[in-house]
Amino acid sequence: MTEIVPEPSGPELAALRDRLAAAAETEHLLDVGYAIVDSPVGRLLLAATDRGLVRVAYQIEDHDRVLEQLAARLGPRILRAPRRLDRAARQLEEYFTGRRTAFDLELDRTLSRGFRGVVHQYLPRIGYGRTATYREVAEQVGRPRAFRAVGTACATNPLPIVVPCHRVVRSDGGPGQYAGGPAAKTALLALEAA
């Protein structure tokens, strides 16, 4: 019996999944749509709600786990919906090829609450190719003694690269912790210094 109806091929199923994502978009059924893109710092997961880009995740964060967290926080109606991420993917590609120094994207800041949110809002003011120390950022957001909390905020930035937490470094010149790992942070700083 099972041999009569063969196992569908990968491309067949991929086409049906694309069609499902398109229909879900049309009916506004998705809590989150995501795409996986290649980059010089590894594969990146890009996720967006109806309001905008909500999450950028490095491979070392474990994309399956990130999707589970998004399901718990934002709702489980999640599908791969690359069209929703077209603009973000294009701007990231421009960034990585040195043709873009600032992002122009709708952002959904739902995952940046409280003091972290304040820090994340401030970060884009550190311009392309420049850096600031954790202490300087703490001063800039009016909490000069909260530099450790600034460190935590940077490490838990839900929108790395786009919200440039990689530009915040230690006072001794070390790169400091980073969700994408120290090598990714160093690579981004090198890219911007070129």
Partner 1 sequence: MATTPFDAVVAEHGGRILRVCRAVLGPTADADDAWSETFLAALRAWPDFPDEDRARPGRVEAWLVTIAHRKAIDVTRARARRAVPVAEITEPAPVPEPPGDRADQAWAALRRLPDKQRRAVAYHHLGGLKYAEIAELLGGSVEAARKAASDGVKALRTALAGPDEGARS
Looking at residue 15, what DSSP letter applies?
Answer: H
Catalytic-labelled residue, pool 123, 141, 165, 188: 165
Q: State the Cα–Cα distance between residues 176 and 165, nearest whole angstrom.
A: 11
Active site residue 154: no
CB of 29 to partner 1, least distance (A): 6
Figure out which of the listed residues 45, 53, 58, 78 binds partner 1, where binding follows CB under 8 A: 78
* Nearest alpha-carbon partner for 99 in 5, 6, 191: 191
Figure out which of the listed residues 43, 51, 77, 113 binds partner 1, where binding follows CB under 8 A: 77
Type of residue at 193: A
Place of tokens 């990130």: 66
Answer for the pair 81, 24: CB distance below 8 angstroms, yes or no.
yes
Tokens of 147: 């530099």
Q: Interface residues for partner 1 in 28-57 (CB under 8 A)?
A: 29, 32, 34
- Closer residue to partner 1 in complex, CB, 27/104: 27
- Residues serving a catalytic function are 165
Please report, as ranges, the residues that interact with partner 1 according to CB under 8 A.
1-8, 12-13, 16-17, 19-20, 23-24, 27, 29, 32, 34, 64, 67-68, 70-72, 75-80
